[in-house]
Structure 1
Amino acid sequence: MFESDGLPLYLRIKDVILQRILSFTYDDKLPGELLLAGEFKVARGTIKQAIDSLASIGMVYREQGKGTFINRDALQKYYTDLPDVLTTFAPPGEIAVEVLSLISTMADRQVAEQMGLDLGCQLMRLERLLVQGDRPVGHVLTWLNGRIYNDLSHVDGSRSLYKQLRETFGYSPANATERYTPVCCDSRTAGLLNIKPGVPLFRIERVARDLDDVVLEYSVTHTLDASLSLQIATSQSSMSPQWTCTIEKGR
């Protein structure tokens, strides 16, 4: 189940359980040690070591005869949601989010393909405007997996979308991939941003998943005067002629 990375087996299992806790896979308590031992195909003692390690950092606590419970106070301090937007804007300043619409819809061919869903699957479609001062600087269309977020009826533009999803449904994306493409503004987006069609924009496509690789969100964002700084580290191993690259968001 695990690739060897030099860590003891119980610490690797502890990391998996911790990621599940952070992504709210579990509600208030962990499954029993025997169930976890069966899932991970290890001895019960190994699971006990993993849970002891989580208890040592205050993430869980045991109650005799009842089980192992998640420490919600510690979780709130430990957990950090993915940022809704990774880009920065010029000039720098606070960005307000205006919710334009939130409707139930069905996946068309393009969205279904991006989310790995069947054509016609239920989705929630959220449209937002990014505003700096009194000037629109971005437009966001988000499709949320309707099987997970089917009862979503309200989004507060002043708060993180992911935090609201996590608090309401218990699930928010744990990882995301983004594609950045320079494009020319179309007429509809131009009207929303109060600019002329053809003005250059950043198009940002995000696919966000949970820890089980289920796609929870597909978003398309168009931004004006946005910038993204990336740091790319390259290296070559003596074991392989291929170069590897690691990309990190710049500071």
Structure 2
Amino acid sequence: MAEAKPLPLWRQVLEDLERRLERDEFTHRFPTDRELVQHYGTSRHTVREAVRHLKARGLVERERGRGGVVTDPSLSQPMGALYNLFATVEQAGRLQDSRVLALDMRPDAAAAEKFGYDPVTPLVHLERLRLMDGEPLALDTVWLAPDIGRTLLDVDFAHTSLYDELAARTGVRPTGGTETISAVVPDEALVEVLELAPDEGLLRIERVTTHAERVVECRLTLLRTSRVALRSTWPSETALEGRVMPPPAPSAEARSQR
């Protein structure tokens, strides 16, 4: 019987790091490459290969020159549904707070267009820095229709849900809408406000919600990619059998040649 070959060094380091992660050994900070080299007595290439596999699986995130952090996948945000970020954080057993940066009435031409209002119409404007366990999670800007939003101008939004307050005071709760998600490279101001790590990106989530087919809210959320994972549920393989993606629409040039 052939003798089993020993595992490559990087694999041995990887398996030991996995065991240490399971023991919550890196609660505050994940070691730098130099610290791992010293601990395991191996080359920088070996530890980098082990860490690369941890990063690929979303278990750690690296900060250049400062080690890294162990990612926390406990906050999972659903897609394709009208979710409540406040409830998502609370249900994950995390502490949800907000710093209210603005709560007033002011015009905004882009938001007014979505409501179907004149560009100079004053809208209710709420801007919050959303926190999870005391650390920045998202920057949230909301515009509400004035006839229903006025009732919220005296609300303390430090620890409450906008949708819950809206329902309690007006009987209106969003029942539908659309959401567009894109990636954003933050500028220096956003890096400072959201306390972003080097090379950390943001998700830009634009939402328009409706009630009884009427637009009641326009929202822009800038969400830290390191603090949340988006989740989508797909049909079973059986349900997908025979389905194909629709062909792309013909270009204007192709249509003109028909």
TM range (shorter): 0.5 to 0.7
The amino acid that maps onto 2:132 is: Q
Q: Distance in 2 between matches of 1:186 and 1:135?
A: 19
1:99 aligns with 2:73: no
The answer on 1:200 being equivalent to 2:181 is no
User: Given the superposition, is the C-alpha separation of residues 145 and 173 from structure 1 closer, same or farther in structure 2, using an over 3 Å criterion?
Assistant: same
Instruction: Give the 3-state SS of the residue equivalent to 1:167 in structure 2.
Output: helix
Task: Provide the C-alpha distance between the structure 2 equivalents of 1:228 and 1:87, rounded to a whole number of angstroms.
Answer: 12
Q: What letter matches 2:146 in structure 1?
A: G
Secondary structure in 1 matching 2:189: helix
Q: 2:233 aligns with which of 221, 226, 231?
A: 231
Structure-1 separation of matches of 2:192 and 2:149: 30
In structure 1, distance between residues paired with 2:235 and 2:121: 40
Contact 2:89/2:95 (<8 A) preserved: no
Query: SS in structure 1 opposite 2:95?
Result: coil
Counterpart CA distance in 1 for 2:105 and 2:144 is 10
- Distance in 1 between residues matched to 2:191 and 2:215, nearest whole Å: 29
Aligned 1:69-108 pairs, distance under 5 A: 83-85=83-85, 93-108=94-109
Note closer, same or farther for the CA distance 1:218–1:95 as it changes in structure 2 (3 Å cut).
Answer: same
- How many residue pairs get aligned? The number is 158
Structure whose residues are more often helix by fraction: 2
CA distance in 2: counterparts of 1:198 and 1:119, whole angstroms: 37
Q: Give the share of equivalent positions with the same residue, in percent.
A: 27
1:208-242 CA distance string (max 9 Å, x none): 1001x11110111111122111123496899xx97
1:149 is paired with a residue whose SS is helix
Cα deviation for residue 198 of structure 1 reads 6.3
**Structure 2 counterpart of 1:165, which letter?**
L
Q: Structure 2-normalised TM-score?
A: 0.52
* 1:166-181 equivalences in 2 (<5 Å): 166-181=167-182
Q: Is the 8 A contact 2:140 2:222 kept in 1?
A: yes
Q: State how far apart, in whole Å, the 2-side matches of 1:128 and 1:191 are.
A: 15
Map of 1:247 onto structure 2: none
Shift, 1:184, TM fit? 0.8
2:185 maps to a residue whose letter is C
1:120 aligns with 2:120: yes
Unmatched 5+ residue regions in structure 2?
1-81, 247-258
C-alpha RMSD of the superposition: 3.1
Alignment gaps of 5+ in structure 1 = 1-81, 245-251
**Contact conserved, 1:97 with 1:130, CA < 8 A, in 2?**
yes
| Alpha-carbon contact 2:152-2:165 (below 8 Å) kept | no
| Amino acid of the structure 2 residue aligned with 1:129 | L
Whether the 8 Å CA contact 1:87–1:227 is kept in 2: the answer is no
Alignment correspondent of 1:186: 187
